Every structure is written in C-alpha cells, then in structure tokens.
Amino acid sequence: MPAPVPGRTPAELRAYIEGPDPLSGEQVLRALIDGLSRPLSDRDMDGVAFERTRDRLIEPGAEEDLQRLFQENGWTDSLPVVLPTEERVAAVLAGTSHAPDEVVGTIRAATSRDFWSFTVEQAAVNAVMAGARPEYFPVVLALLASGYTARHSSISSIGQMVMVNGPVRHELGMNSGIGALGPYNHANSTIGRSFGLGSQNLQGGSVPGVSYVGTIGSPFSLTSLTFAEDEEHSPWEPYHVQYGFEPGQSAVTIFAPVRSLITAPSGVREDWRERASVLFGSIRAGGGAILLADPLAARALAEREGFTEKKALIEWLAANARMPARRWWGQALQDIFYGNRARDGVEPWASYLKADPDELIPVNEPDDVHVVVAGGRTVAVWSVLEGWANRRFGSALSGRTLAIDPWR
Amino acid sequence: MSRKITVLNPEGSAPEVDGKSLAPRPTGLDGGTLFLVDVGFENSGDFMDQLQASLRERRPEVATEIVHLRTPFDPVPDVYERIRNEGSAAVLGVGL
C-alpha cells in the first residue's frame, strides 16, 4: 500500500481524504469523524492496567531449542548467540565492580515509546549472548547506560558508529589498524554486538513493522562500526581529549545517526580540497559529518595540507562544504530539526533561512564536524560518514563521548 | 536426548502500564472546534490543510483550527492545554 501522505500533491491528499480507506473501504473522512464522536462502551472507559513482569530464568531446555526460542522471541540479531547460562553471566559480571541488581538506566526504541529500565545483570546477559569477554563489560555498560539505543526506530534506517579512546583500547586488544571497522577483532565486534543486542532487548524489542520501522535497514547495526582510534599515529590530539577527558582516561563515543559511509576514490593528493568539498557537500545537510582518516591520510593533511591543528581542518571542512539554500531547506524533515531554531533567530540557521535559494550555505557547522583516525597505514585513504556527537543541541538521536572508567 | 540447560531472560524491565482510560467522546462535533495538529513530519501540514478544506466544504458546521507543533519529539503542554480549553476534539497527523 503506498504511503498516503509524504510526497503527495494537495490534490492527491484531498482525494485520499475523501476517498475510500485502502484497508476498510470506508471513506477516510467519515471514519475520522465517526472515530471522534462514536459512543464508547463502559469497557472502553474502564481503562486497563497491567504489569509486564517476566521471570529471571527461562524454562530449562535443550541448547538447540533455546537457540530457536531466542530467535523466535526476537532476542537475537538473527545470528546464533551464546546462550546466557548463570555461569556465563556470572563470569561477565566479574568484569565490573557494580552490583548485579543495580539499575543502570533506561532505554527506548524511539521518543514515541516508553522507557524500559535495566540492571547490570540484564546488561550482562546480553553481553554474554554477543560473545563479549568479562573485561569488555565496562565498555558495554558505558554504551548501554548512555540512554542511546543502537536499535533506534526511524524510517530512515539509521545506525551508529562507536569509537573507543584511551588506555582501555590496549587493555582489551582492540583494533585501530588494518580492518579496524571490519569483522577482524573480537573486542571490536563483540562490544558493538553487545550494544546492539542489549539495546533491542533492554528496550523491549526491535521488531520490523512493530518497534522498528527503518525501510531498508542499516548494515551498520550488527556491530555499530565499533573500533578504536589510532591515537599513537594520529598527528592530532585524541578525540576524547577534545571533549574534556584526560589522555589517560578511557572513553567511548557514540556517533549517530550514521546512515552513510563514502570512501574517497583518491588519497590525499593535490586535488584533496576539491574532492573533500564535494564529498562533505553531498551528505545530509545539518546531519553532522565525520572524517575518518587512515594515519597516512591524517599525516598528509597535517604536513602537506598544513592542517597541523585538528580545529583548523574542521573549520575548513565546515566552511568549504556547501550546498544551495533551497536544497538545504528542501531536505525531508529539515524544518523539524532546524526550522524553529531559525525562526527563533538562532545562528547560523536564522541566516540560512534568509539566504537566497541559490546561495551556497555550509552543509554543517564546525561543531558538527568530527575528525577521527584509524586504519592500517597501507594507503592514505579517507572516508566521510554522516553522524552527530557532542552537539550543542543534544537530542535523542545524537551521540556523545562517555566515560568508561566509572563502570570498571 | 540433549541435556537441558537453564539460561537467563535477556529482556529489560517493562514500565508498568497504568489505568488510563480513553477520553470521553463528544456526542457530535457540530458547533465545536476540531483541532487539526500538524506534528511536522513530511507533508503533514499539507495534509491538514486539505483535511480542513474538505471539512469546510462537507461539514461546515464543524469549526476547525490547525496548530503546528514546534517539535514532534518533545511534549508541548501549552498546545495540549489550549486544545483542552478550546477544542471539542483533536486529530494528530504524523505524516507517514
């Protein structure tokens, strides 16, 4: 059935309102009026109250039956999981000093849904299922305690990118080198998978068509692109230091919503500025931008292009990636995110609203441009991702940098 | 036969559902004001414009007023209060 509202002309909308409902056959307008004024029964008026409690333990079963049960209940990412026996959960719980019954926080699939709460033990169950080792658990807790979900229900099929900074990268043997964002490191993969499985189960599900509405889905959702920054080969300060952490502290950053990853066809050559303007100008306006640079690309940007300070590179990217104002404001849902700020006089959006439709305006402000470093130092490759973190205007969608050490 | 094992439930704790009942329905809309709430998603404002035009033509005895939410993501108590005081019913348009 075609969507009745988005992309429809006024005449089509009027025809839909005055025509038959595609499911019931009743005129949409009449059904609407009836729904507002039809008398309600006593039962309707009674209201309903119930508690959705669940047992801590599942009915004992054979391993293959339990694997099937977990799949059927929507508790997995459609891949086999490590079954969370009491012994395995206890082992993961040993990875933190926090009590099993401590409430970690709340999480929900979308702003229109209820918050569910969860304990340290419930988080540990999901870490076991993802295959995480006890020593990874503080990172998993930091991610899940954030309140951000890795299973956000949005029609635009969003994913996340998770990056770890600080000493914990080496303690856990995380990968910041060759294949950092790929399926080649146990800690990277299972920490990211724990975030995903934990999100969907602790928030009460992520069921397509019910509690997940992403039209095409996101391939980033399996492990949330989890990797470690290569602080040692970066010419700039570590990412978490930009946001108030000491280099010796461990932190994890959630970038969201991540919908795209574009890898530049060339390294850092003489045409880098032209290519960067095009690629950073092609992503969602105001959606945040991340430059993911292999250490060789980062070094070339610092030494050849003169961006010895990360801040200068960010400001250059923000100033030079532009698009016409009509395209900036014509993007779906843009008024929801920026229209009111612009009308309230908040800059730069107020000026963007006044701009001539053909005027080229910045795709992202500097606060929404991020530079991170990872890769195998085989070639000076660089990629562009869309995503927010540490915004001056926070939202349920954007991510931030979180302390890991309090969860040890 | 495979050995049976015991595992933990991976779900979080659901919020308790309290005893909210449906709002009393008006016996009719004639003479009252029907608020048409545009929550701001794609094309929902245009949809409400057309719904208002259709009601004016087919149900002129029903007064309508369109209100636009500043954001669909946060509560808007001032709008709820206005609808409660001035309206007999409201239609929320999500635009999907």
Phi, psi (5° rounding) for residue B64?
-130, 150
Q: Do A17 and B50 touch (CB under 8 A)?
A: yes
Residue B95 has a pLDDT of 61
Q: Do B42 and A197 touch (CB under 8 A)?
A: no
Q: Each residue of A98-156: pLDDT tens digit?
A: 999 999 999 999 887 889 999 999 999 999 999 999 999 999 999 999 999 999 998 88
- Is the pLDDT at A30 greater than 70, yes or no? yes
**Count of domains in chain B?**
1
A328 in Cβ contact with A361 (< 8 Å)? yes
Q: Each residue of A144-202: pLDDT tens digit?
A: 999 999 999 988 899 999 999 999 999 999 999 999 999 999 999 999 999 999 999 99
Beta sheet of A261-263, edge-to-edge order: A261-263, A382-386, A289-293, A369-373
Cβ-nearest to A336 among B25, B27, B72: B72
Q: Do B8 and A89 touch (CB under 8 A)?
A: yes
* Percent of chain B scoring above 90 in pLDDT: 51
B72 in contact with chain A, both atoms CB, cutoff 8 A? yes
Q: How many beta-carbon contacts under 8 Å exist across A and B? A: 183
pLDDT tens digits in sequence order for chain B, 96 residues long: 579 999 999 999 999 877 777 788 888 888 889 999 998 887 888 999 999 999 999 999 999 999 988 777 777 889 999 999 999 999 988 765
Asked, for residue B28, whether it belongs to a domain, the answer is no
Question: Looking at this predicted complex, what is its ipTM?
Answer: 0.90
Q: Do A6 and B9 touch (CB under 8 A)?
A: no
Which amino acid appears at position A252 of this protein?
V
Going by C-beta distance under 8 Å and a sequence separation of 6 or more, which residues neighbour residue A131? A81, A82, A186, A189, A190, A193
Which amino acid appears at position A112 of this protein?
S
Interface of B with A in 30-49 (CB under 8 A): 34, 40-44, 46-47, 49
User: Stretch A195-220: mean pLDDT, rounded?
Assistant: 95
Give A339 to chain B, closest Cα distance, Å: 9
Residue A242 has a pLDDT of 97
A153 in Cβ contact with A211 (< 8 Å)? yes
- Is the pLDDT at A2 greater than 70, yes or no? no
Q: Which tokens is A151 given?
A: 């299973």
Q: Do A64 and B2 touch (CB under 8 A)?
A: yes
Interface test with A, best of B3, B4, B8 (most A CBs within 10 A): B8
Q: Which domain holds residue B41?
A: 33-93
Q: What's the rounded Cα separation, in Å, for the pair A184 and A400?
A: 25
CA angle at A169 for the pair A167 and A170, rounded to the nearest 5°: 75
Among chain A residues, CA nearest to B49: A10
- Is the pLDDT at A293 greater than 60, yes or no? yes
B16 in contact with chain A, both atoms CB, cutoff 8 A? yes
Q: Each residue of A247-284: pLDDT tens digit?
A: 999 999 999 999 999 999 989 999 999 999 999 999 99
Asked, for residue B71, whether it belongs to a domain, the answer is yes
